[in-house]
Chain A
Amino acid sequence: MQRLAKVLLFVAALLPAAYLTYGLFNDGLGANPAEALQTQTGIWALRFLVLTLAVTPVRRLTKWNRVIQYRRMLGLFAFFYAFLHLLTYAVLDRYFDFAGIWEDVAKRPFITAGMLAFMLMVPLAITSTRGWIRRLGRRWQLLHRLVYLSAIAAAIHYLWKVKIISGSPVYYAVIIGALLVFRIGWQLWTARRRGEAHRV
């Protein structure tokens, strides 16, 4: 049953990529297919990042503990779409012009933020295997807190990218902000409760 759910989730997570690939070869992405690919892969990376970050709050609030089993897959799909997003920039916009890419990263804050968001995901993707989790022990959890930084950088990247800050980039920043604030709030609340329990 759980296995089936995972397979379904996997297939569902691939649908945006399938849709974009189909559109690319069937004239379905409009007058500027490169821009559509870039925007859509970026948006899907953000969506999966949000879903990944939502796992813990959902678990805490609903006591649905098994949701944790889907977190790795969600995180890896965030990485997958972020990687495709980076490729649209490096290949379609810059055509492997590494000097130009480096110049952009150094000079343009929104690209710096985007690149940072991606780079922070790389070690997380690499150490997402069972072997690495075992090897790193407690340090694994510490390392994987980098996802918070990555999400903040991604939200900033999107906010700085647009000509006029409104709508979608603001919503994503607010959602990511709320998911992070939840963690802080939860920590404080449980710490207080533990303190009270001690006193009793």
Chain B
Amino acid sequence: MLIKTTPSIPSSEITDEKHYLQRRDFIRLVGGAAMIAGAAPWLQACAGDSPIADFAGTPGPAVLPGQSPISNVKPAVITTTEKLNSFADITSYNNFYEFGMGKNDPQRHAGSLTTSPWKVKIDGHCAKPADYQLEDLIKPHQLEERIYRLRCVEGWSMVIPWIGIPLASVLKAVEPTSKATFVKFTTLHRPSEMMGQNDRSSLAWPYTEGLRLDEAMNPLTILSVGLYGKTLMNQNGAPIRLVVPWKYGFKSIKSIVRIELVDRMPATAWNQSNPEEYGFYSNVNPQVDHPRWSQRTERRIPAVFKSHQTEMFNGYGDQVASMYTGMDLRKFY
């Protein structure tokens, strides 16, 4: 399917593609050359016919410990000409309270998380519930690159080249029944490796999130397993996370272990923590302020000025606005 690209981008923000394209050549190179041992086991398990190639772990600037390159990815269909954020920015500035509340905490502490083997349970109102090994969950589907804007509720944003599969294909495979109206997601709960989960003043663990079924089935919604041509770093939600680009970042739940088809709106972590500030929908909306700050503008990392105008539905209105026709988005924030 073809989805419209975003026009009218100021020339100052036009992509410097050279950097990323060179990176891709490099990844193709090492990815092809290195079908040897040493890669993440879940990648090894699907070597050969899998779209994800193995990697030997040859030291190089682009592949860090805990990462493997991904090949055979369908190039970006949904694209933007905005400048991509650097890999360093994307992996050093994160909200992932399981590893601490500071922006740099996830990078410092997430290395301790074991992401292999990794199972994802998909159950609830569906004909074929299943416990998937991660590789079996991914294997049947075509990996795609999706370059999306990510807008954090705190007022900053990035442009990230995700790699993932449409959530819709995963859900269709388990055949949701007519009772399924919402989808509930749950993050891993493992306080021994996720030190933030020992902090009682933090969120109620495990982290949960939810989408309405039509939102979950929207073609923009993906389960991501990588970015910049490689598997996700732990601080970005390895090994598998949700990406819902028209909603504030906290909706895009990380390190998922369970996806449940449910018949009522599920409780979500931030909504439980502070219902006045974080609604279930949390669509990006410049008209609806956060109680403590305006959402009209955002700071495009690493800019110093918070001068980027925030767009309705984060600029994805053409693809998603119809799902909210007739809804008062001030009430359902």
Residue positions of A touching B, CB distance < 8 A: 30-35, 92-95, 100, 103-104, 107-108, 110-111, 160-161, 163-167
A160, B292: Cβ atoms closer than 8 Å = yes
Nearest neighbor of B200 in chain A, beta-carbon distance: A166
Q: Can you list, as one digit per residue, whether each of B270-290 has a CB less than 8 Å from chain A (1) or not (0)? A: 000110010000000000010
Candidates B103, B199, B291, B304; contact of A166 at CB < 8 Å? B199
A164, B306: Cβ atoms closer than 8 Å = no
**Stretch in B59-67, B85-93, B131-139, B323-331 with 4+ CB within 8 Å of A:** B85-93
- The 10 closest A-B CB pairs, nearest first, are A166-B201, A31-B93, A31-B89, A34-B304, A93-B306, A31-B301, A31-B302, A108-B292, A92-B304, A31-B92
Size bracket of the B interface: 20 to 34
- The yes or no answer to B149 lying at the interface (CB within 8 A) is no
Q: A163-B274, A166-B199, A167-B201 are in contact. Are A95 and B93 (CB under 8 A)?
A: no
- The yes or no answer to B148 lying at the interface (CB within 8 A) is no
Nearest neighbor of B90 in chain A, beta-carbon distance: A31
Instruction: Name 15 A/B residue pairs within 8 A (Cβ), A-sorted.
Output: A30-B93, A30-B103, A31-B88, A31-B93, A32-B301, A34-B299, A92-B305, A92-B306, A93-B299, A95-B307, A107-B289, A108-B292, A164-B101, A165-B201, A166-B101
Chain B neighbourhood of A165, CB < 8 A = 201
- The yes or no answer to B294 lying at the interface (CB within 8 A) is yes
- The yes or no answer to B203 lying at the interface (CB within 8 A) is yes
In the assembled complex, the CB of B60 is this many whole angstroms from the nearest CB of chain A, namely: 22
CA distance A92 to B297 in the complex (A): 12
CA distance A164 to B203 in the complex (A): 8
Q: A31-B88, A95-B307 are in contact. Are A164 and B273 (CB under 8 A)?
A: yes
In the assembled complex, the CB of B248 is this many whole angstroms from the nearest CB of chain A, namely: 12
Interface positions, chain B 68-107, Cβ under 8 Å from A, are 85, 88-89, 92-93, 97, 101, 103-104
Chain A neighbourhood of B289, CB < 8 A = 107
- The yes or no answer to B156 lying at the interface (CB within 8 A) is yes
Q: Which among A33, A34, A100, A165 has the highest number of chain B CB atoms within 10 Å? A: A34
CA distance A34 to B308 in the complex (A): 14
In the assembled complex, the CB of A107 is this many whole angstroms from the nearest CB of chain B, namely: 8
In the assembled complex, the CB of B289 is this many whole angstroms from the nearest CB of chain A, namely: 8
- The yes or no answer to B114 lying at the interface (CB within 8 A) is no
CA distance A167 to B201 in the complex (A): 9
